Amino acid sequence: MGYEVNYNELDYAQAGEICQQVAHDINDVVDALANASQTADRCEADMNLQCMVSGIGARGYSVGILGDLIRKGYHQAREGEIQAFELTGKVSEAMRNYEAAEAAVERMMLTSTRSVLIGDFISKTRENGWRPPRENMQTFLRLLMTYMPHWRFNTDRTLNDQIEGVTKFLSQTIKGLGPNRNTEVELTQQDPEQTVEVDGKLTSYFQLHEMLEGKGTENNGKIMIVQADPDTYLALFPGTQNDLDVPSPFGLEGIADGFGLESENFVDPLDEALEISGAKEGDEVILSGYSQGGIHVAQLMKNKFLKHKYKMNKVLTLGSPIGNIDLPEDVRSLHVEDRKDMVPGTDGTANPNKNQQYTTTFPGPREQMNGILPEDGLFGPPHNLKNYGDHLLELDQEPKTEIREHLKNFYLPEPLVKIRMFRLERKEKKRPPLKEEDKERLNQVAPPH
């Protein structure tokens, strides 16, 4: 950030965890010593009583002194316990202070350089066919966040938290006020099963995605389930579709489903489609999504029901803005994006690059794609599925050394796979039928005077 800090997030988190653990350990010691001193006291009292009953003049004092020694240890441990809890609190406070300071500095830097940033945004957007490149899109949104009113969008939080909050708020507002507020997503139709030959590498994902959504509006609203081997399935979700002529839950409202409802309304249809395709509990399910579909698959990766039922820990996204979706740590992911594509930057946050979650960014469409990628569309050639297909081909041909092994985890095991497409539609929510007792009760309700 251009200023010197001596803060290491991981070290602080580790120190906090250690202090907390130590505090709990010492708490156990305190309990053990309290018990031990009480036992010693009781032993001394009982012993003295026995001596008195037996007429023995001599009394034992050592057990009493032992009790005092243990109590001394108890007090020492008690103070240690308080100190350890205080230290835990201090570390947590330091972490919160650091995050708030970091957010304040970022806001300050963004606002102080806003004229440069806006100028850069305009010139880079012009160079990119009047579509903002991913990075400029992200910076612009972050700049916009600094002007959000404090009363509604708590500006003490980090910009990432704030962006997530704003996105959720807007999505929930759209869902709550939109014409589809009383609808749910249902599986309404299944296509016959087909067998498809694939090479098993990453381009297979493009091949399958193109079968799903490369035919205009014909496959609107459909998802694809692929049986890669008897115990491995792949679920593909499409990008945003024009739902004006042919209805589709993947229209613009689908984006609000992704950010506002965390795609919870797609859980049941996906589970149903998997079951129809033969998936059993414990089978592996890999998720793959393009554009809006990437938001859904990333959100579904967090779904407890699906994760409990299936082995779900691999996800692939193509040109999707999923930087604000916190994928579980056990998830191995690959996020492919293009520097000239604005869509992955529309959440104002960089896609993840941590542990086994990789984002690989390409500088732009390759020259060989000139004339192949259509120039129309809101987001232009860099966001076209074919461009992402070409990037997957690049990854197959010349995988980056650091992710070579990682990519192999996404390879499909068999050359012949069975696919089936399922149509999803928004339908009126079904109301549960009235029970007889409820009907009776309603009959007794007097009409208003």
Partner 1 sequence: MMFQATLLSVASQLDDAQKTTKFAIAQLGSIRTLTWNSKVGKAFLDNVNELSERLEMLTGELSNAEEYLGIAMREIQNLEAQIMDQRMAS
Check binding of 236 to partner 1 (CB under 8 A): no
Stretch that binds partner 1, among 72-80, 99-107, 365-373, 400-408 (CB under 8 A): 72-80
DSSP 435: P
Q: Which of 1, 2, 6, 281 binds partner 1 (CB under 8 A)?
A: 6
Q: Which of 306, 294, 365 is nearest to 334 (CA)?
A: 294
Residue 81 or 283 having the CB closest to partner 1 = 81
Q: Which of 1, 2, 3, 62 binds partner 1 (CB under 8 A)?
A: 62
CB atoms within 10 A of CB 399: 17
Check binding of 39 to partner 1 (CB under 8 A): yes
Residue 298 sits at φ, ψ, to 5 deg, of -65, -40
Check binding of 9 to partner 1 (CB under 8 A): no
**Calpha distance 157→102 (Å, rounded):** 10
Least Å from the CB of residue 104 to partner 1: 17
What one-character-per-residue DSSP string does 226-252 give?
EEEETTEEEEEE-----TTTS--TTSH
Stretch that binds partner 1, among 23-31, 198-206, 240-248, 410-418 (CB under 8 A): 23-31
- How many Cα atoms occupy the beta-carbon half-sphere of 225 within 13 Å? 27
Residue 51 or 369 having the CB closest to partner 1 = 51
**Calpha distance 289→282 (Å, rounded):** 22
Least Å from the CB of residue 100 to partner 1: 15
| C-alpha to C-alpha distances, 397 to 67, 199, 314, 410, nearest whole angstrom | 75, 13, 22, 15
Check binding of 36 to partner 1 (CB under 8 A): yes
Check binding of 1 to partner 1 (CB under 8 A): no
Residue 81 or 135 having the CB closest to partner 1 = 81
Q: Which of 1, 2, 46, 387 binds partner 1 (CB under 8 A)?
A: 46
Check binding of 29 to partner 1 (CB under 8 A): yes
**Calpha distance 96→106 (Å, rounded):** 15
| C-alpha to C-alpha distances, 39 to 44, 45, 47, 61, 355, nearest whole angstrom | 9, 10, 12, 15, 50
Least Å from the CB of residue 80 to partner 1: 5
**Calpha distance 445→435 (Å, rounded):** 16
Check binding of 65 to partner 1 (CB under 8 A): yes
Q: Which of 1, 2, 3, 7 binds partner 1 (CB under 8 A)?
A: 7
Check binding of 42 to partner 1 (CB under 8 A): yes
Residues 319/391, Cβ–Cβ less than 8 Å? no
Q: Which of 51, 105, 196, 261 binds partner 1 (CB under 8 A)?
A: 51
The type of residue at 147 is: Y
Chain center to CA of 10: 20
Check binding of 49 to partner 1 (CB under 8 A): no
Q: Which of 1, 3, 9, 66 binds partner 1 (CB under 8 A)?
A: 66
The type of residue at 222 is: K
Residue 101 or 144 having the CB closest to partner 1 = 101
Q: Which residues in this chain contact partner 1 in the complex, by CB under 8 A?
A: 5-8, 11, 14-15, 18-19, 21-22, 25-26, 28-29, 32-33, 35-36, 39-40, 42-43, 46-47, 50-51, 54-56, 58, 60-63, 65-66, 69-70, 72-73, 76-77, 79-80, 83-84, 87, 90-91, 94
